[in-house]
Structure 1
Amino acid sequence: MTAVTDRQAQAVRRKSPPGHPRRRITREAAAAWVLVLPFVVLFLAFTAGPVLGSFGMSFTDIKQRDLRTPLSVNGVGFDNYAKALSDETFRKAAFNTAYFVIVGVPLTLVVALGAAVLLDRGIKRFQALFKVAYYLPVVTSIVAIAVIWRFVLSPDNGLLNTALGWVGIDGPNWLASKTWAMPSLIAMAVWRNFGSAMIIFLAGLQGIPQSVEEAGQIDGAGPWQRFRYLILPLLRLTILFNCVTMGIGYLQFFEEPFVMTKGGPLDTTLSVSMYTYNQFGFGNYGLATSMAYILFVVIAVVTFIQFRLLKEK
């Protein structure tokens, strides 16, 4: 009798009434899946699928002529990766990219932090106008920026060489010089990108209580000491965020050399992303995808190192 009663009770519990919380949760979950289903389908079709497909391509000898018969390609293992790493031009592009990142990221962050401190502590009037002016290059088309910088760096009547001529200095052909082409692109990248980091730094500075600096001032710390030992440690996570996002973007730099120098002169401004793009254009799909995944691994390693060095202690 007791066993029958228990089975009946379990059956009643399984058949929850319409207003039961368990049935309500099930309906909410079903509605959530219906709403998220379009994103899942698009993500699988246009992101996850191509990523997995390209990763598989990196282990084959697929070329442009094989697109009509994709099943006829041959697996080559890690030969594409070995070929990429042994390619002299790829190694030069990797060196150029490292140069661009090692010089460009710190310089951009220093300029951005300086502008943020100036807006937070120095400039009180027309602050919104300065914010817009500093951030405007971030949202400006690279084509418009290229036009401006070609005018600035023109060897004959450029703004920079004209200014140098006023003090008796004969300026070089900046974008055609093996010595000055990459620094010119770095200067353009700093000018174009420091506005986004500045906004993040400014938000971090405004989130620091005024009492922190007042306490340091009472203890006799000067302006630099307060900034170095009080403000900077509190900006650690802000610096980490800017370093990670800026580092990822600069490791993938492509637009600057593509628009301004086409990778020249003599490949001195050729980046890994641009060389990978060129290999896709040549139809070497397997080799190009292996280069893309080498860059992906480098980005992951650099990001991991940044987190290890700058994470909150």
Structure 2
Amino acid sequence: MTDVRLNMAKVEAEAAVRPRRRPGGARARERAAWGFVAPALIAIGVFFAVPVFAALLLSLTDFDIYALADLDNVRFIGVQNYERLFGNPLFWGAMKNTGLFAVLGVPLSIAASLAAAVILNARVVKWRPLWRVIFFAPFVTTLVATAVLWNYLLHTRYGVINWAISSVGLSPVDWLGQPSTSIPAILMFVVWKIFGYNMLIFLAVLQTVPDDLYEAARIDGAGVWKRFTHVTLPAIAPTLLLVSIISVASFFQLFAEPYVMTQGGPAQSTVTVLYFMYEEGFKWWNLGSASAVAFVLFVCILAVTLVQLAVAKRMGAYE
């Protein structure tokens, strides 16, 4: 008992002589933290928030080429740009094409990148670093240059793809000249271009899955497919959600691919929402209408992302 009292007295004595924290210490650290992040916040405000707010105001005006010459020609028209937009059949055609690109392209690109990552993660594959470089190389190459190259590959008379088709006795296909094949042709190019990036993300998370889980599943008699569905997929579910959100946003913002490969044709079959926005703003100089298209596209991407998050949460992909 005496020892306990002595220890308590010692603790109290040390506490008495210990220097107390100044009341302003926490506030000083908080001010220092805000000082460090202030430059980044100012940059975001100047180069992101302000332009977005300005574009929103622009979408409520009839800003056009005449307004570029004299700002007195600008009129505030409210939501008329949005009303005209929703009554424009070309806009709904662009929405349908964009939705088709996303519905077909997102699962295809995720499946291709995940399959490549699983194969490269296997220890039986030789020269894995070389294959990673080969698969990732299309992502870092210039988009316009590779799109022009694919135009030659898909050429009806001189393209390598049609040469391969003709060599087995089939008729050449006008890949970029028919509405029925133009979207699949562009999809092939887009998936080839971006799947290496998603593959590296999947490969990184696959290497964090403990080998003990696979060993336990193998001992329980689980085959390759069951190990993939019961071990791999649950372990990478949050990353799968991230990649799906990124892929949806990417496919909703397709522009350079149809612009370079088909110029929106044939018969407007590859006009996307972003391509339609480009034409409204920089071909017809209806900048107010183009800003309205941008905000409609933003709302669509936001809505799809929220649906993805809700479905993933219901399935337990994240908490």
Structure 1 length-normalised TM: 0.89
1:298 is aligned, of 300, 304, 318, to: 300
Separation of aligned partners in 2, 1:67 and 1:35: 39
Deviation of residue 77 (structure 1)? 2.0
Q: 2:105–2:187: 8 Å Cα contact kept in structure 1?
A: yes
Residue in structure 2 matched with residue 286 of structure 1 by the alignment: 288
Q: 2:119–2:125: 8 Å Cα contact kept in structure 1?
A: no
Q: Deviations over 1:86-114 (max 9, x none)?
A: 11101000000000000000000000111
Residue in structure 2 matched with residue 7 of structure 1 by the alignment: none
Residue in structure 1 matched with residue 54 of structure 2 by the alignment: 53
Residue in structure 1 matched with residue 10 of structure 2 by the alignment: none
How do residues 131-170 of structure 1 correspond to structure 2 at under 5 angstroms? Answer: 131-170=132-171
Q: 2:106–2:247: 8 Å Cα contact kept in structure 1?
A: yes
Separation of aligned partners in 2, 1:37 and 1:69: 37
Q: Count residues in correspondence.
A: 295
Amino acid at match of 1:290: A
Residue in structure 2 matched with residue 121 of structure 1 by the alignment: 122
Unpaired runs of 5+ residues, structure 2, are 1-19
Residue in structure 2 matched with residue 106 of structure 1 by the alignment: 107
Deviation of residue 69 (structure 1)? 3.8
Q: Deviations over 1:227-250 (max 9, x none)?
A: 122221222111101000111111
Classify the secondary structure of the residue corresponding to 1:67.
helix
Amino acid at match of 1:278: E
Separation of aligned partners in 1, 2:30 and 2:141: 42
Residue in structure 2 matched with residue 16 of structure 1 by the alignment: none
167-176 vs 98-107, which moves further: 167-176
Amino acid at match of 2:51: P
How do residues 4-43 of structure 1 correspond to structure 2 at under 5 angstroms? Answer: 21-23=22-24, 25=26, 27-43=28-44
Residue in structure 2 matched with residue 309 of structure 1 by the alignment: 311
Amino acid at match of 1:287: S
Amino acid at match of 1:104: G
How do residues 192-231 of structure 1 correspond to structure 2 at under 5 angstroms? Answer: 192-231=193-232
Amino acid at match of 1:181: S
Separation of aligned partners in 2, 1:229 and 1:82: 49
Deviation of residue 310 (structure 1)? 1.8
Indicate the RMSD between aligned Cα atoms, in angstroms: 1.9
Deviation of residue 72 (structure 1)? 4.7
Separation of aligned partners in 1, 2:192 and 2:96: 22
Q: Given the alignment of the two structures, is residue 271 of structure 1 paired with residue 272 of structure 2, yes or no?
A: yes
Structure 2 length-normalised TM: 0.87
Separation of aligned partners in 2, 1:106 and 1:208: 23
Deviation of residue 46 (structure 1)? 2.0
Residue in structure 2 matched with residue 4 of structure 1 by the alignment: none
Separation of aligned partners in 2, 1:157 and 1:72: 52
Residue in structure 2 matched with residue 179 of structure 1 by the alignment: 180
